[in-house]
Chain A
Amino acid sequence: MNVADVVSSLGLEVLCGADGLDREVTGGYASDLLSCVMAGAAAGQVWVTLQAHPNVVAVADLLGLACVIIAENVRPDEATVARANERGIPILSSAETTFTVVAGLVGQGVSGASPKHAR
């Protein structure tokens, strides 16, 4: 399954980073705390969040995430969009809540992994 499949099956809006729509999706992670994402998300995963500032792209880029889904129609600012386009990281938008987006992903067979670092 790649990002384009996720877009079509969940009815998401591609806001930017369309260059990365062919990235392979290996799993998912959801959190709004960047440090938790840094510690817990793995390369190739979909990240569902409510954050929409440029650091979201930095985190996704550093971890090699497949894409970012921003829930509840929160819109990223211009700087975020520009950076995502530059890095080719798709930012997708959903009107649904994080919970519903994650449920939709699970329905498509996208699974999460146990956190690597127990707290």
Chain B
Amino acid sequence: MMGETQEAPVRKQPLIERAELTKVQELVYELRVEQVMTRDVITCTPDQTMSDLKEVLRLNRISGVPIVDQGQMVGMISVESLIKALEQGEADHLIGEKMTRRYQSVRADDTLAGAVALFARFKYGRFPVVDADGNLVGILTQGDIVRGLLRQLETLWHSEEIRRYRASHIFEDIESEQTTLILRYHVKAQDFVHGGEASSKVKRALERLGAHPQFLRRVSVATYEAETNIMIHSHGGEIIVEAQPNAIKVVAVDTGPGIEDVEQALLAGYSTAPDWIRELGFGAGMGLANIRSCTDRMQLTSVMGEGTRLEMVFDLTVGSGE
């Protein structure tokens, strides 16, 4: 193998599209060589001829083999060496004379990332895989790596599908007179850094439960506006989501100053937000109007000096979700 090129050509790594490869990049650090390598290694012995080698390569459709002598790996030989030998009429020469004794191997417990680096550094088609004691335990080609990664991605995809299936069938799987799943999220006052996080979590949870994108949008927009209202106007509060088979109810409650005129607050464009809040893009007076257009029913109640409670109901009709 080392006979192919003596110097190790260090190729400039191509700029990889990060977006597409992130998951694969993660996997190359998780997977070990032994998880993807080929275990049934075809080998030759030093006392076989180059002509024998030709038959082994041809019949197995491979382009190189490790050379093993009495259980010990002693070298590597590839199709390039075979072609050279045949050109020079050395078909009857022994593999032992032509093989490369200084071969590059890869450890079974190395990560795929390490193996990929080796393939990039040395332009070899395959590497023998050895255990901690240097015994030959397998062989690794770039094809093995690709197949291993694809297999792993498929497994991950399957388990995600199963998780999604289980979550979306929770209401069918659990029998009761009425099943309600309650999700609770705290919202801090004036915490602009974490603003919108409760809504994001609600969205993800409902996604898991199999909600339709259009339905999800309605719930997300309304919940976000309610969360923002708690964040801007109150002393803190909670978002409570009640998921039932036929409807989602989202309740936003806060302890806070309360709303003086509920009717007026519901008018589009009416806002009590201070200027600095408006500069952040909030307080346009559209929050409650947005909520109204997204919900099937809403109820706003407020007690001055105590707090505000906003109840939003989203009906799961046929076609809008599961």
Contact = CB atoms under 8 A, between A and B. Distances in A.
Interface of A: 4, 18-22, 32-36, 38-39, 43, 49, 51, 53-55, 57-59, 61-64, 79, 117, 119
Contact of A58 (B199, B268, B293): B199
Contact of A39 (B22, B228, B285, B293): B293
A44 B213 CA distance: 12
B78 to A, nearest CB: 38
Given A55-B195, A59-B196, A35 B19 contact: no
Contacts of A4: 19
A54 B194 contact: yes
A33 to B, nearest CB: 4
A3 to B, nearest CB: 9
A39 B286 contact: yes
A79 B193 contact: yes
What interface size band does chain B fall in?
A: 20 to 34
Nearest to B288: A35
B290 A55 contact: no
A53 B192 contact: yes
Contacts of B268: 119
Contact of A117 (B195, B220, B293): B293
Interface stretch (B33-41, B59-67, B169-177, B276-284): B276-284
Contact of B281 (A21, A32, A64): A32
A35 B193 contact: no
B196 A18 contact: no
Nearest to A34: B281
B192 A54 contact: yes
B12 interface: no
Nearest to B269: A119
Nearest to B287: A35
A58 B280 contact: no
Given A53-B192, A58-B199, A20 B284 contact: no
Nearest to A17: B19
A5 B281 CA distance: 28
B7 to A, nearest CB: 35
Given A43-B213, A62-B221, A62-B224, A36 B284 contact: yes
A33 B286 contact: yes
Contacts of B196: 54-55, 57-59, 61-62
B191 to A, nearest CB: 10
Contacts of B293: 39, 117
B203 interface: yes
Given A39-B286, A54-B194, A61 B19 contact: no
B225 interface: yes
Given A39-B286, A43-B217, A53-B192, A58 B224 contact: yes
Interface string B212-250: 010001001100110010000000000000000000000
